[in-house]
Structure 1
């Protein structure tokens, strides 16, 4: 019996030592999605971590409203009062999302941003487009101009709300560019992360019900990221279900995922667009992290210095660190460094003096650049100082001597 007890204790000990099972990190190969196109980028740098048909021209639907919000935030004051026209109500579109704003209703720009971005209300987009500039047509012109300015060069808008039009198009890559720019605006960022909101009373509504987000990903949790930070849904029968999403982990890394063209109608298809975004985000957080490419004060090399006192060598080090989102598997880094450092140095050199730089690239993309500085001072040789001091007087003596000889020769020629 004693032996049985001992055997059971040993078995329990061994079982406790078995490492826990973890989910297999998804690879790029098994990132199968229902979308026609998708992309995953690092929010800080814009680096692409995964893409599939990212330059395929597709219809943005209500993800258009990201650009509508950008123009409103950058060109109107938060308290600017805007009045809903009958045209703005009429152009909601068949089955277009709306919250029931009425003709003649007065709301501030700041109030309109919430139904625009959280509930995806078409009339909010229309009202903003009629009031920010002198006309809606000017607003749409500015949407296209802004898209070009920020690098969304394969995008064209014909309306502010995303209702279908054959000439209203974008790409997954462009939407990631627009989203990244939009998330740099605090008002936008603070709005798109909200699950619900309630508007204040207006001249047409004494009260509003609680209104909820159209983004299903905001209700999801993951062991790989700590918070979903936005952003925007979109749907028309022609576009399918679109979702631009963002999430951050506890290390401060934020990723943006774009999924376009998930087919189907209803909640099931919408959920699949969220599934695809979640897959992309989890792939990114499981396989990538902010890595240190080079640290501060890292040794670069030692060099000789011309006219150095006691032949002192100069140590070159990096002035700052370079960090970038890279695979956790360092064998995939393939980083190429380019040194932009002079081939020769002349004393004196002061400690901390900038003497060159190093650039780091991966797959042709610049990851970062750091200055190269002197880690120590190098004084000039006393002999060099002596010769520098007597150089000009010595030159003067030599010139005086030469001029004297010339003068004598000239004098003799006149005798």
Structure 2
């Protein structure tokens, strides 16, 4: 009877076109994506959740503009007015993306960044480069140097906009690294999350049309799991369709997906579809986990030569949060504490006594220092007659370094001083009285 009811329910769902949703299993796999390379990372710590060919060289196309924007924000003044040169306009490239800036046009850096990141305007990137530095060549040197400083060691830029050049390349992993840093810059974050904007009037344009963000995933996201908050599209013939996207959920978990080199039929739509599938996978199967909380008592340890018998609480100096699989059985975590040998008094509150390290699959994913929760005074052990006769100097030094001994000496000295002073005052008083009788 139960089998018949189950079969009837399946037939009913099929006939009414209601999708059958199965619970995700513990071994849920990343989506199958027809792209040259991809990577999905945790934006906070850079932990890789899944990837394919992420170290393979790819052409970055207009995702290059992320690096251009980083330098502009670090080195430029958003209110600086920059002038478009003929050279900057000519360097747009064949069929290069542009918004129609005219040579001699004067535009604020902030508006150029909006045009570059929201509408992917090649000429805006060129104008920024030749105004931030004395030459575009100098700007490119800074781009390549800064990229390596950020950890993008397999990246080489030959232009600030991303037009094709065989020597202009990167990797999905490098672009994720660059994007992760860019999203820590408030102005960058604000611009790439903007759905549309209108350039203000200039000396060459009395008005501009509304310019919409080229990131259609940002404009058309319907997910209930997360909100898209950036960041950049890219396309050239050799590069294919590329998309770097960032999303954040209500728990504060932010992921960055990089999909490069989509060249199949309907590639422009598929690159968005693949990015969404990656983000869906990440937010469905992973969560932020606080491995240790700042200020939490981790353990109590014995302190040698302590003035009391209560031991010392070690507390976490900081919190440690990592993105881990929701399925606890898939985490494979180890927690290892390291204490700095035998601890002797005195101990000051805040002293670093050791650290606790967390490992996933045998690889360290973070460590937090353990610090003393309170002061502990020194109290020497009683001295035996044998110790005194064998090592008198050591014993004397041990006693004289004791805080209580120092206090006792000070009190004794003060008592002697007071006694002498009182005797002196009495002597003066007697002498004064004796003189009165003569």
**What TM-score comes out, normalization by structure 1 length?**
0.82
Q: Given that residues 28 and 50 in structure 1 are in contact (C-alpha distance below 8 angstroms), is that contact kept between their aligned partners in structure 2?
A: no
1:63 corresponds in structure 2 to 63
Comparing 81-90 with 110-119, greater Cα deviation is found at 81-90
Residue 384 of structure 1: how far off its partner (Å): 4.0
Q: Say whether residues 1:369 and 2:367 are aligned partners.
A: yes
Alpha-carbon displacement from aligned partner over 1:358-379 (angstroms, at most 9, x marks no partner): 1222245543322223456655
Q: 1:57 to 1:351 in 2, by over 3 A?
A: closer
In the other structure, the counterpart of 2:423 is: none
Residues 271 and 24 of structure 1: CA distance in aligned 2, closer, same or farther (over 3 Å) = farther
CA contact (8 A) 2:122 2:161 kept: yes
Q: Any residues of structure 2 matched to 1:31-46 within 5 Å, and which?
A: 31-46=31-46
1:2-36: per-residue Cα shift (whole Å, max 9, x none)? xxxxxxxxxxxxxxxxxx97564496635111211
**Aligned position for 1:278:** 276
1:16-415 alignment, distance < 5 Å: 24-25=23-24, 29-264=29-264, 268-296=266-294, 298=296, 300-309=298-307, 311-349=309-347, 353-363=351-361, 365-374=363-372, 380-381=378-379, 383-384=381-382, 394-395=392-393
Q: Give secondary structure in 1 for the equivalent of 2:29.
A: helix
Based on CA coordinates, which of the two structures has the bigger radius of gyration?
2
Change beyond 3 A, Cα 1:237–1:358: same
**RMSD between superposed Cα atoms in Å:** 2.9
Aligned to 2:422: none
For the residue of structure 2 that corresponds to 1:189, the secondary structure is helix
Aligned equivalents of 1:301, 1:167: Cα separation in 2 = 55
Superposed displacement of residue 335, structure 1: 2.2
Distance 1:397 1:66 in 2: 67
Q: What SS is found at the alignment partner of 1:233?
A: strand
Whether the aligned pair in 2 keeps the contact of 1:42 and 1:255 (CA below 8 Å) is: yes
Deviation at 1:121, TM superposition (A): 0.8
Gaps of 5+ in 2: 1-18, 397-438
Task: Provide closer, same or farther for how the CA distance between residues 230 and 344 of structure 1 changes in structure 2, counting only shifts above 3 A.
Answer: same
Verify the 8 A CA contact 2:215 2:232 in the aligned structure 1: yes
Q: Is the 8 A contact 1:25 1:283 kept in 2?
A: no
Secondary structure of 1:112's counterpart equals helix
Q: Structure 1, residues 37-87: CA drift from partner, whole Å, max 9, x if none?
A: 000011111111110110111101111111111111111111111111112
CA deviations 1:220-261 (Å, max 9, x no partner) are 334453321100000011110000000000111111000000
CA–CA separation in structure 2 for the residues paired with 1:131 and 1:85: 10
Cα deviation digits, residues 136-170 of structure 1 (max 9, x gap): 11111111111111111111111111111111111
Deviation at 1:325, TM superposition (A): 1.1
Return 5+ residue gaps in structure 1 as ranges. 1-19, 399-415
In 1, distance between residues paired with 2:79 and 2:374? Answer: 57
Contact kept in structure 2, 1:196 and 1:210, CA below 8 Å? yes
Could you report, residue by residue, the CA deviation over 1:245-282 in whole angstroms, capped at 9, with x for unpaired residues?
000001111110000000147xx321110111111111
- Secondary structure of the 2:206 match is coil
Question: 1:340 Cα deviation (Å)?
Answer: 2.2
C-alpha displacement of 1:345:
2.3
